[in-house]
Amino acid sequence: MVKIAITGPESTGKSTLAAQLAQHYGAPWVPEYARTFLDGLGRPYEAPDLETIAQGQLALWQEEEAKNPPLLFLDTELLVLKIWSEHAYGFCPSFIQQELRRQACDLYLLLDIDLPWQPDPQREHPHLRQFFYDWYKRELEQMGAPFVEISGSAAVRLQKALEAVETVYHP
């Protein structure tokens, strides 16, 4: 199974691209669990909630992985939770760190901040987009993870993403 993780700062089109890629390849994609969790929380999130979100995300991945598809797209992944936790609380729970090391994606698509910010009640940092982009890139480099930076208009992003996927997925 080839796993492609779509990652990057808020409002960079991760969910849109994940859905487009999944449709193009007829492959499953795992949506971002945090959205569902936060929509139903009924209070501001707290540090322990991030580990709960990680567990929920992993459960969704495992459900799709159990079906053994040849290709799987992950809309966000645990690097998002690591950065979120470190920025919001100054630390990352060991559970998230351990699972991030085990995540084993074949390719990460790091989405650039060159799309206009889309306001959303769950988005928090429109003024820190470059700061977060640089942080994601540093983390991916430190992980030694294979990644491709994806930028441009929606159509250009999709084309670049398709080209990147073709480097690791050969049906």
pLDDT tens across 4-41, in order?
999 999 889 999 999 999 999 999 999 999 989 999 99
**Residue 34 corresponds to which tokens in the numbers above?**
């945090």
Question: What is the residue-wise DSSP string for 8-70?
Answer: -STTSSHHHHHHHHHHHHT--EE--HHHHHHHTT-S---HHHHHHHHHHHHHHHHHHHTT--S
> Considering only CA atoms, which of 42, 71, 52, 97 is closest in space to residue 169?
71
The percent of residues in the chain predicted with pLDDT above 70, rounded, is: 98
What global pTM score does this model have? 0.94
Q: What is the pLDDT of residues 85-124, one digit of tens each?
A: 999 999 999 999 999 999 999 999 999 999 988 867 666 7
2-166 carries CATH number 3.40.718.10: no
pLDDT of residue 120: 72
Instruction: Write down the domain spans for the chain.
Output: 2-166
**Residue 72 corresponds to which tokens in the numbers above?**
């799987």
- Residue 148 CA, chain-centre distance (Å), reads 13
The answer to whether residue 74 scores a pLDDT higher than 70 is yes
